[in-house]
């Protein structure tokens, strides 16, 4: 496997970074004898991300995320980025995966990050994926990852999505054209990559099920070989933004929503257990 310079690794990750101290980028290399899969990303502190090589005591890279001053760390190179630590970790993991030959699959969808979750909005062309994403960015403090085309890779922690370099920061709205989200809403509203935790699939009104269901419109789908919790939603629903916001909160901890049917089943099981006692 060919060596990759640390500068190239950071450039591949598309992170906005600055060097603080350490070796010059052209002189720091990942060992050609050590595959990219032998490098481990860890978070020893809330705003600190380190890249460690197997068998070495000194970290190859230490990255301060979101803060310029943090606890000192021993590393060959130290950099700073305004990107939050979750996005930085995903971006570096994707860069390492790409160097290791892990291929990406593309899906026609829009990916945002909200409440710490990656939310993949899918649906037929013209169903309102970008419009819903824009509303969530404007009203719910969401951040854009990718619009229209999402690169998805299956990594050990789950499916991770990113944006093709040419489309980064851009969200296409038919009435407004291509919006530069970072310019309109600020740099924090555009992130490089994130793990995909929740799917929102936009359906036509006639496809919606009118019957009252205690378990809602939740289902499971497979994305890049990874099981993903998905909610079917009518895009023109007056409460679409609120429903996505609540759906994200429902899966924030367990990655699985607990619906009323789940609660009733648990109560029933507990009642049976108590009756036997």
Two structure tokens written together for 27: 């002189």
Among the ranges given (43-52, 84-93, 201-210), the one the predictor scored with the smallest mean pLDDT: 201-210
* Mean pLDDT computed over every residue of the chain: 81
Domain membership of residue 192 (yes or no) is yes
Domain membership of residue 264 (yes or no) is no
Two structure tokens written together for 144: 């854009």
Cα separation, 239 vs 48, whole angstroms: 38
Residues 169 and 207 in one domain: yes
Domain membership of residue 269 (yes or no) is no
pLDDT of residue 264: 61
Cα separation, 120 vs 199, whole angstroms: 5
Rounded average pLDDT over 142-171: 91
Per-residue pLDDT reduced to its tens digit, 118-129: 999 999 988 899
CATH of the domain at 195: 3.40.50.300
Q: What angle do CA 82, 84, 87 make, to 5 degrees?
A: 115
Give the N- to C-terminal CA distance of the chain in Å, as an integer. 62
Rounded average pLDDT over 79-98: 87
23: confidence class by pLDDT, cuts 50, 70, 90: very low
196: confidence class by pLDDT, cuts 50, 70, 90: very high
Cα separation, 177 vs 12, whole angstroms: 28
Per the model's pLDDT, the better-predicted residue between 63 and 20 turns out to be 63
Instruction: State yes or no: pLDDT of 101 exceeds 90.
Output: no
Cα separation, 70 vs 60, whole angstroms: 18
pLDDT of residue 27: 47
Question: Over pLDDT 70: what percentage of the chain?
Answer: 76
Instruction: State yes or no: pLDDT of 260 exceeds 60.
Output: no
pLDDT of residue 138: 92
Residues 33 and 66 in one domain: yes
Two structure tokens written together for 76: 């060959």
Domain of 87?
A: 4-99
pLDDT of residue 151: 94
Residue that finishes a domain, picked among 99, 129, 158:
99
Per-residue pLDDT reduced to its tens digit, 47-82: 899 988 777 777 888 888 887 666 667 787 788 888
Per the model's pLDDT, the better-predicted residue between 105 and 18 turns out to be 105
pLDDT of residue 133: 95
Please count the structural domains in the chain: 2
Instruction: State yes or no: pLDDT of 16 exceeds 80.
Output: no
Per the model's pLDDT, the better-predicted residue between 12 and 43 turns out to be 43
pLDDT of residue 239: 84
Q: Name the helix (H) or strand (E) containing 91.
A: helix 85-99
Domain membership of residue 198 (yes or no) is yes
Rounded average pLDDT over 181-195: 90
Domain membership of residue 28 (yes or no) is yes
- Entry pTM: 0.81
Question: Over pLDDT 90: what percentage of the chain?
Answer: 27
Residues 169 and 186 in one domain: yes
Residues 95 and 110 in one domain: no
Residue of 256, 225, 14 lying closest to 117 (CA atoms) = 256
Residue pair 58/87 in contact (Cβ under 8 Å)? The answer is no
């Amino acid at each position: 496997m060919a060596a990759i310079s640390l500068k190239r690794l950071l450039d591949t990750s598309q992170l906005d970074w600055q060097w603080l101290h350490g070796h010059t980028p052209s002189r720091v290399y990942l060992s050609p004898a050590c595959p990219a899969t032998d490098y481990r990303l860890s978070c020893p502190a809330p705003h600190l991300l380190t890249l460690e090589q197997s068998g070495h005591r000194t970290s190859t890279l230490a990255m301060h995320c979101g803060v310029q001053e943090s606890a000192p760390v021993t590393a060959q190179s130290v950099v700073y980025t305004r990107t939050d630590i979750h996005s930085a970790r995903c971006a570096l993991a994707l860069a390492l995966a790409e160097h290791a030959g892990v291929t990406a699959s593309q899906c026609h969808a829009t990916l945002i990050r909200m409440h710490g979750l990656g939310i993949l909005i899918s649906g037929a062309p013209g169903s309102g994926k970008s419009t819903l994403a824009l509303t969530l960015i404007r009203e719910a403090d969401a951040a854009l990852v990718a619009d229209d085309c999402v690169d998805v890779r299956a990594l050990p922690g789950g499916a991770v999505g990113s944006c093709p370099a040419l489309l980064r920061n851009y969200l296409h709205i038919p009435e407004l054209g291509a919006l530069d989200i970072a310019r309109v809403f600020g740099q924090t509203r555009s992130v490089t990559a994130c793990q995909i935790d929740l799917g929102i699939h936009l359906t036509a009104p006639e496809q919606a099920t009118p019957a009252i269901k205690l378990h809602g419109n939740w289902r499971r789908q497979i994305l890049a070989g990874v099981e993903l919790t998905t909610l079917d939603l009518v895009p023109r629903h007056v409460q679409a933004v609120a429903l996505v916001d609540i759906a994200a909160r429902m899966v924030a901890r367990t990655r699985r929503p607990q619906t009323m049917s789940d609660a009733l089943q648990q109560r029933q099981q507990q009642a049976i257990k108590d009756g036997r006692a």
